[in-house]
Amino acid sequence: MGASYYAYTVIGCEVTDKIRTKEIVGEGCAHNPPSYQAFCPSCGKPRRIERWLNVPSYDSDREEITHAGNTLKVITTTDDKRLFAGVAVGVNHQNVKNDEGARLIVIQPSNLSAAPTFDDVVEQVQRVLQPLGLWDERAFGIWCVQRCAY
């Protein structure tokens, strides 16, 4: 048991609010708690039952977005509030207490060459995101994303 800490560098676009939407499936209970409360004070159940609806090209289990055989990694922040799609490299540190060292995670689309140039990476990101209407030059960048998993 413990926590895993991740730090990713993602060359790509922030796609928060573009690849998923939250859908309210129903009320969590019959007590009708006030809207400012996330949980019912009477029974403790969530006020509303919600789920994420993903665009079809986004597989949240695999954390990938794919178009026409081209794939990008989707990295999510710890609080699940921001998502970044692109070519990613990360570091995982599982056992900070014993300082056993970090493990490098290299995530790169299989159809990208072993030593891609920056232009190759930009082209790969555009190849996936543009046809899906997700390419946004203003959202493109070299992002640093931290994540903690318990």
Site for Zn ion contains 130 (CB under 5 A): no
Site for Zn ion contains 55 (CB under 5 A): no
- Helix runs in the chain, H state only: 118-129
Annotate 48-76 with three-state secondary structure.
Answer: EEEEEEECCCEECCCCEEEECCEEEEEEE
- Show the site string, 87-126: x = touches Zn ion by CB under 5 A, - = not: ----------------------------------------
Candidates 22, 31, 51, 62: give the one binding Zn ion (CB under 5 A): 31
Site for Zn ion contains 24 (CB under 5 A): no
For Zn ion, which is the closer residue by CB, 12 or 28?
28
Which of positions 32-51 make contact with Zn ion (CB under 5 A)? 40, 42-43
Instruction: Tell me which H or E stretch contains 7.
Output: strand 4-14
Among 113, 116, 94, residue whose Cα is nearest residue 103: 94
Site for Zn ion contains 149 (CB under 5 A): no
Buried residues in 111-124 as b, exposed as e (16+ CB within 10 A):
ebeeebeeeebbeb
Residues binding Zn ion (CB under 5 A): 29, 31, 40, 42-43
